[in-house]
């Protein structure tokens, strides 16, 4: 009797192993909550069914997972220590008609920890709501590198629509983050703030790009009372970052805190930041809270630029330049070619507001503020809280006041200068409180002021 060859003995077993472990060798997986089954191989014809099954996969460079568009998948997608490459990213997205809905319930919808070259795109992320026991975020990134979030809608989370802590080389684009608690989009380096929340003491997160995003109606966290909440887009601890073509609106109205408050789009403890071509409007704060403004370079910002932005109808100042007590030095920033329209409706009462914490151990200095336009019905064009502002130079700006009780420049300060600005009051009174009036041209600039509080209409 002939003995069986090696191939005759082992080939059937080899084929069986390959079939039962197909998911380890395939590069694209599909998930369908209606027709799928977790015992399937995950092909388009035989898809998986649940997020739990995806969590069990060991995704390799070039692998993709697509959830069926228009369907809802409950649970948290957990991506841990996944490593793609520049040419073979790991992709999480949707297939078919529309975008898949990943419902995090009371938790985060998508978590990515210590991953690289990861793309999360074309999804709708939902939570139970900031007032309905959710304690997560839409996407939560921790210590990721070379990752991209694109075409995501995130709503109903206690913290943020998109939250990132630590990492390098992040791109966040075409995100619609609304009806969340703490913020629409929040990117921080590692650390904690004085209230115990995650915050950024060091500028260790390098290379951030946020573009074409909308942060709308993120009202605040009802249980966060030691610091602000209800921000639109907030970044901290970033070196080399850009925020452009974004919109923030109607955020912050349910912040419970009575102290410092939220802002539409802002940065703190960061270096080499550019905020440009953005629109921040109708943002708010609590009844007794501060801030609620359009844009802000806050404590510790250095070597940064705000340009070509529009701020309108915010309860706080259009453009806040602030230095809190614990921050590192604030210096070498530029604010140019921006517009403030009827900002400071409640707090700040100014197009531009400067504030440095009393006794701050670090200076706030060297800021060029030029070729901006302020139109204000509710308060001042420029307002200073008491402090020293060496190297703050206002030049070639246009200031228009339609409130006869307001001043062009208001407050007590030292160190700032005003050069070649044009100022006008529609009451034909130009009340200047300082000798800088000699450096101002009191003439009507001939601007057609909108009859509505909605300059975009």
The radius of gyration of the chain's CA atoms, rounded to the nearest angstrom, is 26
The neighbour count for residue 428, using CB atoms within 10 Å, is 9
Instruction: Count H helices and E strands in the chain, helices first.
Output: 2, 37
Which residues 6+ apart lie within 8 Å of 457 measured at CB? 450
Residue 166 exposed, middle or buried by CB count within 10 Å (0-12, 13-18, 19+): buried
Which residues lie across from 310 on neighbouring strands?
A: 279, 339
Which residues 6+ apart lie within 8 Å of 321 measured at CB? 296, 297, 330, 333, 335, 352, 353, 354, 355, 364, 367
> Percentage helix, strand, coil, to 5, in the chain?
5, 45, 50
DSSP string of 362-398, one letter each residue: S-EEEEEEES-EEEESSSEEEEE-SSB-TTEEEES-E
Per-domain residue ranges for the chain?
Answer: 7-442
DSSP string of 128-193, one letter each residue: S-TTTT----SEEEES-EEEEEEEEEEES-SSEEEEEES-EEEEEEEEEEES-SSEEEEEE-S-B-
DSSP string of 49-60, one letter each residue: --HHHHHT----
CATH topology of domain 7-442: Pectate Lyase C-like (2.160.20)
Whether the Cβ atoms of residue 214 and residue 233 lie closer than 8 Å to each other: no
207: left (phi over 0), alpha (psi -120 to 50) or beta: left
pLDDT digits (tens, 9 = 90+) for 173-201: 999 999 999 999 999 998 665 455 566 67
User: How far, in Å, CA of 456 to CA of 184, rounded?
Assistant: 22
Residue 20 DSSP one-character state: H
Instruction: Provide the whole-model pTM.
Output: 0.91
What does the longest C-alpha to C-alpha distance in the chain come to? 115
List the chain pLDDT tens, one digit each, 457 residues.
445 554 455 555 554 444 444 444 569 999 999 999 999 999 999 999 999 999 999 999 999 999 999 999 999 999 999 999 999 999 999 999 999 999 999 999 999 999 999 999 999 999 999 999 899 999 999 999 999 999 999 999 999 999 999 999 999 999 999 999 999 999 999 866 545 556 667 899 999 999 999 999 999 988 887 788 899 999 999 999 999 999 999 999 988 877 777 999 999 999 999 999 999 999 999 777 778 999 999 999 999 999 999 999 999 999 999 999 999 999 999 999 999 999 999 876 899 999 999 999 999 999 999 999 999 998 899 999 999 999 999 999 999 988 777 788 888 888 999 998 988 887 765 555 444 544 566 667 777 777 666 655 5
Q: Which CA distances in Å does 106 have to 127, 158, 218?
A: 6, 9, 17
């Amino acid at each position: 009797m002939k003995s069986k060859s090696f191939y005759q003995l082992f080939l059937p077993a080899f084929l069986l192993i390959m079939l039962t472990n197909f998911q380890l060798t395939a590069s694209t997986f599909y998930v369908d909550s209606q027709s799928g089954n977790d015992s399937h191989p995950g092909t388009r014809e035989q898809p998986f069914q649940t997020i739990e099954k995806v969590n069990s996969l060991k995704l390799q460079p070039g692998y993709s997972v697509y959830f069926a568009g228009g369907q809802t998948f409950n649970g948290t997608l957990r991506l841990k220590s996944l490593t793609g490459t520049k040419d073979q990213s790991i992709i999480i997205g949707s297939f078919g008609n529309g975008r898949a809905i990943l419902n995090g319930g009371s938790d985060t919808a998508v978590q990515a920890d210590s991953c690289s070259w990861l793309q999360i795109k074309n999804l709708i992320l939902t939570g139970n709501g900031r007032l309905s026991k959710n304690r997560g975020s839409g996407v939560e990134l921790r210590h990721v590198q070379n990752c991209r979030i694109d075409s995501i809608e995130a709503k109903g989370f206690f913290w943020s629509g998109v939250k990132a802590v630590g990492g390098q080389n992040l791109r966040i684009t075409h995100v619609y983050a609304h009806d969340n608690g703490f913020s629409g989009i929040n990117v921080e380096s590692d650390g904690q703030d004085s209230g115990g929340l995650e915050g950024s003491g060091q500028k260790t997160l390098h290379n951030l790009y946020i573009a074409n995003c909308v942060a709308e109606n993120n009202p605040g966290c009802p249980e966060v009372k030691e610091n602000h909440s209800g921000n639109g887009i907030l970044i901290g601890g970033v070196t080399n970052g850009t925020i452009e073509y974004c919109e923030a609106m109607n955020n912050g109205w349910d912040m419970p805190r009575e102290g410092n408050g939220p802002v539409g789009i802002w940065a703190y403890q960061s270096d080499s930041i550019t905020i440009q071509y953005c629109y921040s409007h109708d943002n708010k704060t609590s009844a007794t809270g501060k801030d609620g403004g359009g844009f802000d370079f806050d404590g510790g910002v250095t070597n940064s630029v705000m340009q070509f932005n529009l701020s309108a109808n915010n309860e706080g100042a259009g453009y806040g330049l602030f230095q809190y007590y614990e921050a590192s030095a604030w210096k070498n920033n530029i604010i140019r070619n921006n517009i403030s329209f009827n900002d400071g409706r409640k707090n700040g009462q100014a197009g531009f507001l400067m504030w440095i914490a009393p006794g701050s151990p670090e200076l706030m200095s060297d800021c060029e503020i030029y070729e901006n336009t302020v139109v204000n019905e509710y308060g001042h064009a420029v307002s200073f809280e008491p402090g020293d502002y060496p190297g703050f130079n206002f030049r070639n700006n246009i200031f228009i006041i339609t409130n006869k009780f307001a001043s062009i420049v208001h407050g007590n300060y030292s160190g700032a200068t005003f050069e070649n600005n044009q100022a006008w009051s529609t009451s034909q009174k130009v009340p200047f409180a300082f000798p800088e009036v000699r450096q101002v041209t009191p003439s009507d600039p001939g601007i057609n002021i909108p009859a509505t509080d909605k300059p975009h209409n």
